Chains A and B, each alone.
Chain A
């Protein structure tokens, strides 16, 4: 598969303090990468680098098709947006088209039709005229996911999509992501390691450095080798730590 973008020896941080060091990493078409790591390890900084919200202090990020405008769809962490802002659900979804619609009277009826289709795909078509503040947390996540995918991006980035979400939606969300992954690459940050490993294809462990694990099965000892101190807990009947049963051959840089 062709590469979409590549980070080359990137260092990044805020106010002179380095959070990520010498990260080299590429995302290809139809990848499904789970990003895990301890809090403060740089997961969100990695996302913000790819989104262009943080500039690398060193190294560079190469986009292989820089002319393309619908490159990235983004679902932010449970939102920092003002919940009392007077904006309707359908308008929030339409805002996902911003990268291609910046001209005078750029939005048309066909865009609204598309936005309604997306809302129906999310199972919340009936909420289209509601204002964003009237929704529950799960409904709001659906709306933001709709905004992220309306432009058919090449890469969908999700930052902790399963925070504050009901179990029903979490299941639907992963089903939907599997479906979307047939047409777009997905990069998903999650603290819920046990759950994501059953959906993602590969895992990136981020703790100041990035270790790319080309398999969706990872063991505690591998995590230790990656300097990635997190507990693996699966959601069986009794929470337990996953160990062993590692059959895939993996490489890591």
Chain B
């Protein structure tokens, strides 16, 4: 390695990627905890892949792909939440349809777009090194909003997520919160596609949370711990990908899984020593 870590900050692209990793950790830490707590991982996967249709159509029409993805994913998120509240439609089948429909639309429209073919790979697998100031501002705004919303309405959010029927008995704004939160999840997914890509973004929303969940069962602690794990995993993944010259999105996810594996081992060691202590050995 010819240059030190500090030298890397000479490059604005590197500072930008670090900021992106930090903001991704915050937004995914918050939204992902909600997803994992409400067991919405599959729904989130559907929203993620449906957004690809928005990217394709926006590209075809000459619009901003991120805006296209945002519109598409929020609409599909609201659609899935709507289907989920009508019990006579099988929710997981609906998600499966939307999932593949989004991908199909994306591929067709990108194929139909004349001239320059965009780099599909960067949407599928992310390209954190090309994140620009505009992306960062959007991510920062989302992070700020999520932090404000989740601190201000923390109790209402978890109470509705925990026991929706009880919340309805108490005239809590159940529908408003569900649609608002699923839209925030959709926005989080779209803005983080730049960082880790469509295929990998779901792991940014679930692996840090599952790791945190090994050690705490408190919603707030899971958020904070998964933000921390997100930062450690994404920054170390970024470094490794830079020095070894391998794709950053995949490396970040690999770092997450590694952290999860270590944490799981540590946790089972703790449990084993607890049992041994209780047995008096």
Contacts and interface: CB of A to CB of B under 8 A. Distances in A.
A39 interface: no
Nearest to A106: B155
A200 B17 CA distance: 67
B173 interface: yes
Interface in A106-142: 106-107, 131, 133-134
Nearest to A111: B155
The winner among A88, A98, A99, A134 for most chain B CB atoms within 10 A is A98
A79 B158 CA distance: 17
Interface residues of A, number: 31
Contacts of B162: 81-82, 85, 87, 92, 95
Interface string A48-84: 0001110000000000000001001010100111100
Given A94-B155, A98-B156, A105-B152, A133 B217 contact: yes
Given A102-B156, A105-B151, A105-B152, A76 B165 contact: yes
B37 A99 contact: no
Interface of B: 33, 37, 39, 151-153, 155-156, 158-159, 161-163, 165-173, 213, 216-219, 222
Contacts of A92: 162
Contact of B166 (A76, A91, A106): A76
A69 B172 CA distance: 11
Given A52-B169, A85-B37, A87-B158, 11 more contacts: A53-B168, A76-B166, A81-B162, A86-B213, A95-B159, A95-B167, A98-B156, A98-B172, A101-B155, A104-B152, A131-B218
Given A102-B156, A105-B152, A52 B168 contact: yes
A147 B158 CA distance: 15
B163 A95 contact: yes
Contacts of B172: 98-99, 102
A79 B216 CA distance: 23
Contacts of B169: 51-53, 72, 74
Contacts of B170: 98-99
A72 B153 CA distance: 23
Contact of B219 (A53, A72, A86): A86
Contacts of B37: 85-86
B116 to A, nearest CB: 47
24 contacts: A51-B169, A52-B168, A53-B165, A80-B165, A81-B162, A81-B163, A85-B161, A86-B216, A87-B158, A87-B219, A95-B155, A95-B162, A95-B163, A98-B166, A98-B167, A98-B170, A98-B172, A99-B172, A102-B156, A102-B173, A104-B152, A106-B155, A131-B218, A133-B217
Given A85-B37, A86-B218, A87-B162, A99 B171 contact: yes
A79 B165 CA distance: 11
A104 B149 CA distance: 9
A88 B173 contact: no
A85 B39 CA distance: 9
A115 B145 CA distance: 30
A76 B167 CA distance: 12
Contacts of B171: 69, 99
Contact of A86 (B153, B165, B168, B217): B217
Contacts of A85: 37, 161-162
Contacts of A131: 217-218
Contacts of B219: 86-87
B91 to A, nearest CB: 16
Top 9 A-B pairs ranked by shortest CB distance? A131-B217, A99-B170, A95-B159, A98-B170, A104-B152, A86-B219, A86-B217, A51-B169, A98-B172
A159 to B, nearest CB: 11
B237 to A, nearest CB: 26
Contacts of A91: 155, 158-159
Nearest to B213: A86
A107 B152 CA distance: 10
Contacts of B217: 86-88, 131, 133-134
B39 A82 contact: yes
Contacts of B168: 52-53
A86 B222 contact: yes
A86 B209 CA distance: 11
Contacts of B155: 91, 94-95, 98, 101, 106-107
A101 B154 CA distance: 12
A58 B106 CA distance: 49
A131 B221 CA distance: 12
A140 B156 CA distance: 21
B39 A88 contact: no
Nearest to B39: A82
A99 B167 CA distance: 8
A89 to B, nearest CB: 11
